């Protein structure tokens, strides 16, 4: 089966490409390297020993997408391409709305033209806004606290409307919690530009000595140690979830939403301690002001994905720390 992966050179996309190739799929990637490097795709092929077809193009470029669909027998699309930095989305919302929403519209338009109606979409736990309780199930109320989150919410609604208008579509919306870690080869992983926004890449850069200390954003939350609690999940588990979702949409029609999380919450301090234990590295930290828009606790009820997709996370927090660290050590300057 030929699968188009938009944003396949990115952090999660590259790990999904590895799993797709290992499962025998033919993989076609479209990426404009807005937030990634060609090296990631070279390494995906090196890890798997398999060939991957690649187009350097922007998903906003309709003609370029038409060319990709006309030159291949694409049966399904896994759609990662988009911008993802919450803080940046507040500063440059127009770019975020255009890239994420228009990009998805152009993609869906071209899919429809070529009668490809199987789609897996990357959504995020951010669509739960400020949840009233945890663990979070898929039917919980949705809201957004920033433009990035709003793009995900709007795209989810757009996909619902597309399916309502044409019941031939089959769509899986995957809401990831906090993906961290890297492929166990240490060849592909998260390669943030500049100062990392997210916790794990910040920790690995402190451990490398690239940054002096971690700032822990707030210690007075209503959690077991006062620091924010999240559902960290190994990126390879997330990648495997995509294969299960793909399997499902190839056999069915409809639109379904699934949480991809472990169901277990760890605080910032828990993650720091686990990282120190896994790597034997000390992480100096200071407590600073809470980050605007952050919530105390966010973790999934992952039962729907377990029941319907037969997927659940297999790797633990130590695996996540060891693998994130291996990628950082092997690639001190990123790709």
Which amino acids are annotated catalytic? 148
Q: Which residue is nearest to ligand NAD (CB)?
A: 10
Instruction: Report the alpha-carbon distance of residue 126 to residue 232 in Å, rounded.
Output: 14
Compute φ and ψ for 256, nearest 5 degrees: -135, 150
Kindly provide the b/e burial profile for residues 187-208, where b requires at least 16 CB atoms within 10 angstroms of the residue's own CB: bbbbbbeeebebbbbbbbbbbe
On whether the CB atoms of residues 33 and 56 are closer than 8 A, the answer is yes
Instruction: Report the alpha-carbon distance of residue 232 to residue 298 in Å, rounded.
Output: 10
Contact with ligand NAD (CB under 6 A) among 3, 19, 32, 136: 32
Cis check for the bond before 135: say yes or no (omega within 30 of 0): yes
Contact with ligand WQD (CB under 6 A) among 199, 233, 235, 238: 199
Min dist. Cβ of residue 49 to ligand WQD (A): 31
268 binds ligand WQD (CB under 6 A): yes
Instruction: Report the alpha-carbon distance of residue 228 to residue 279 in Å, rounded.
Output: 22
Three-class secondary structure of residue 130 per DSSP: coil
86 binds ligand WQD (CB under 6 A): yes
Q: Quick one: which H or E segment has residue 171?
A: strand 170-176
Three-class secondary structure of residue 304 per DSSP: helix
Interface positions, 161-180, toward ligand WQD (CB under 6 A)? 178
Out of ligand WQD, ligand NAD, none, what residue 268 binds, judged by CB under 5 to 8 A for its kind, is ligand WQD
Interface positions, 78-137, toward ligand NAD (CB under 6 A)? 80-82, 84, 99, 103, 122, 124
Min dist. Cβ of residue 181 to ligand NAD (A): 11
Considering only CA atoms, give the Rg of the chain. 19
Out of ligand NAD, ligand WQD, none, what residue 104 binds, judged by CB under 5 to 8 A for its kind, is none
Instruction: Report the alpha-carbon distance of residue 210 to residue 190 in Å, rounded.
Output: 16
Contact with ligand NAD (CB under 6 A) among 149, 179, 218, 302: 179
User: Considering beta carbons, is residue 134 or 268 the nearer one to ligand WQD?
Assistant: 268
36 binds ligand NAD (CB under 6 A): yes
Instruction: Report the alpha-carbon distance of residue 292 to residue 270 in Å, rounded.
Output: 22
Q: Within 13 A of 183's CA, how many CA atoms are on the CB side? A: 25
Contact with ligand WQD (CB under 6 A) among 29, 206, 216, 246: 216
Out of ligand WQD, ligand NAD, none, what residue 181 binds, judged by CB under 5 to 8 A for its kind, is none
Contact with ligand WQD (CB under 6 A) among 6, 124, 151, 328: 124
Out of ligand NAD, ligand WQD, none, what residue 216 binds, judged by CB under 5 to 8 A for its kind, is ligand WQD
Min dist. Cβ of residue 282 to ligand WQD (A): 17
* DSSP state at residue 124: E
Q: Which two tokens stand for residue 142?
A: 């949705």
The residues that touch ligand WQD, with contacts defined as CB under 6 A, are: 84, 86, 124, 126, 178, 197-199, 202, 214-217, 228, 230, 268, 291, 294
The residues that touch ligand NAD, with contacts defined as CB under 6 A, are: 7, 9-13, 30-36, 58-60, 80-82, 84, 99, 103, 122, 124, 176, 179
């Amino acid at each position: 089966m030929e699968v188009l992966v938009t944003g396949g050179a990115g952090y999660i996309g590259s790990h999904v490409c590895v799993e797709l190739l290992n499962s025998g799929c033919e993989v076609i990637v479209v990426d404009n390297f807005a937030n990634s490097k060609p090296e990631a795709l070279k390494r995906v092929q090196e890890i798997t020993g398999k060939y991957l077809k690649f187009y350097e193009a922007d998903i906003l470029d309709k003609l370029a997408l038409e060319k990709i669909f006309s030159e291949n027998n694409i049966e399904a699309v896994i759609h990662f391409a988009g911008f993802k930095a919450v803080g940046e989305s507040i500063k440059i919302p127009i770019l975020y709305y255009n890239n994420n929403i228009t990009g998805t519209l152009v993609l869906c338009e071209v899919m429809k033209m070529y009668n490809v109606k199987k789609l897996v979409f990357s959504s995020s736990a951010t669509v739960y806004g400020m949840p009233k309780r945890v663990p979070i199930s898929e039917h919980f109320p949705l809201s957004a606290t920033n433009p990035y989150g709003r793009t995900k919410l709007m795209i989810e609604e757009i996909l619902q409307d597309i399916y309502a208008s044409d019941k031939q579509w089959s769509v899986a919306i995957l809401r990831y919690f906090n993906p961290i870690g890297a492929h166990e080869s240490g060849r592909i992983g998260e390669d943030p530009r500049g100062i990392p926004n997210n916790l794990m890449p910040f920790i690995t850069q402190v451990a490398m000595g690239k940054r002096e200390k971690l700032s822990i954003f707030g210690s007075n939350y209503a959690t077991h140690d006062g620091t924010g609690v999240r559902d960290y999940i190994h990126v390879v588990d997330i990648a495997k979830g995509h294969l299960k979702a793909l399997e499902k949409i190839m056999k069915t029609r409809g639109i379904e939403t699934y949480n991809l999380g472990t169901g277990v919450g760890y605080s910032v301090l828990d993650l720091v301690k686990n990282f120190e234990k896994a790597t034997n590295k000390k992480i100096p930290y200071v407590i600073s002001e809470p980050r605007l828009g952050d919530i105390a606790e966010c973790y999934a009820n992952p039962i729907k994905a377990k029941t319907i997709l037969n997927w659940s996370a297999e790797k633990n927090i130590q695996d996540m720390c060891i693998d994130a660290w291996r990628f950082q050590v092997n690639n001190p300057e990123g790709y």
